[in-house]
Amino acid sequence: MRGWPVVLAALVLGEIGTRVAQHPFFPSPSAVLATAAQVWLTGPPQRLLLADPVFDDVLPSLARALGGWLIAAVLGVTCGVLLGRSRTALDYVGPLFAFARAIPPPTLIPVFLVLFGIGTRMQLATIVFATVWPVLLNTVDGVRSLDRVQVDTARSLRTPRPWWIGMVVLPAALPDIFAGLRLSLSIAVILMVVSELVGAANGIGYELLLAQRQFDFPLMWAWIGLLGALGYGLNALLLAVERRALGWTALHGTGR
């Protein structure tokens, strides 16, 4: 919480600076906030004052980012557990993964555009491709870090497979999995915007570009600010979930 005064100070400095400079490209923070309120919060009361752009752009964007991220999470954890528990599988697919992971995901947008056309499917494909690797590779690491004594313990108790995966392998790998999920979530937001800048008919990225082209700079800055706030909020949300799920590592020395 010590960081909030600094944020406030930055806003005040920005306010003073922009008012002194009077540059049309740099509207004052208060002007940006006023625009934001006017664009997003002038809806009917029964919709909590939320205006159309919230439903037409913000929520679809969020749905794409979170949807793609969730698909990648399920895919990454599943494959990661399978690969991590196999002695040899990763030797075969490891180089391929290293190659695929090294491709900057935005460069695949043209490919997915051809494959899926403009729209949600292309965006989901981009986000899933970009976010699956951190989850997958972290899961493999976590699964591999399973302690030998824990493995022997589970074996000596004749733990059947579902409990072995659910109560031993996954919890042991969970600190690593969450590290991967956090990284993936921020990547998902980035790819959401990038894919919307290129191939979408709505969404935050689309509106951001539109505002810039119409020289509506306060609105453009408002969308940028919203992206920052969304990224911050999503990360905070995930951290809260992580703290609950990994409560056992809080005092325990092995929390990685």
Kindly state whether residue 42 participates in binding other proteins, applying the rule CB under 8 A.
no
Q: Which is nearer to other proteins, 120 or 249 (CB)?
A: 249
> Do the Cβ atoms of 65 and 189 come closer than 8 Å?
yes
Q: Which is nearer to other proteins, 87 or 148 (CB)?
A: 148
Nearest CA to 193 among 106, 251, 132, 115? 106
Least Å distance between CB 245 and other proteins? 9
Residues 159-218 binding other proteins (CB under 8 A) are 159-160, 163, 167-168, 171-172, 174
Q: Which is nearer to other proteins, 90 or 245 (CB)?
A: 245
Kindly state whether residue 254 participates in binding other proteins, applying the rule CB under 8 A.
yes
User: Which of 23, 47, 121, 155 is close enough to bind other proteins by CB under 8 A?
Assistant: 155
> Do the Cβ atoms of 192 and 122 come closer than 8 Å?
no
Residue 13: exposure state from Cβ atoms within 10 A (0-12, 13-18, ≥19): exposed
Which whole-number Å values give the CA distances from 171 to 48, 145, 146, in the listed order? 40, 11, 10
Amino acid at 126: T
Kindly state whether residue 243 participates in binding other proteins, applying the rule CB under 8 A.
no
Q: How far apart are CA 14 and CA 36, in angstroms?
A: 17
User: Which of 20, 99, 156, 244 is close enough to bind other proteins by CB under 8 A?
Assistant: 156
Q: Which is nearer to other proteins, 112 or 178 (CB)?
A: 178
Q: How far apart are CA 207 and CA 17, in angstroms?
A: 26
Whole-angstrom distance between the N-terminal and C-terminal Cα of the chain?
Answer: 24
* Contacts of 10 by beta carbon, 8 Å cutoff, 6+ apart: none
Kindly state whether residue 142 participates in binding other proteins, applying the rule CB under 8 A.
no
Kindly state whether residue 252 participates in binding other proteins, applying the rule CB under 8 A.
yes
Q: Which is nearer to other proteins, 20 or 149 (CB)?
A: 149
List contacts with other proteins (CB under 8 A). 147-150, 152-153, 155-160, 163, 167-168, 171-172, 174, 248-249, 251-254
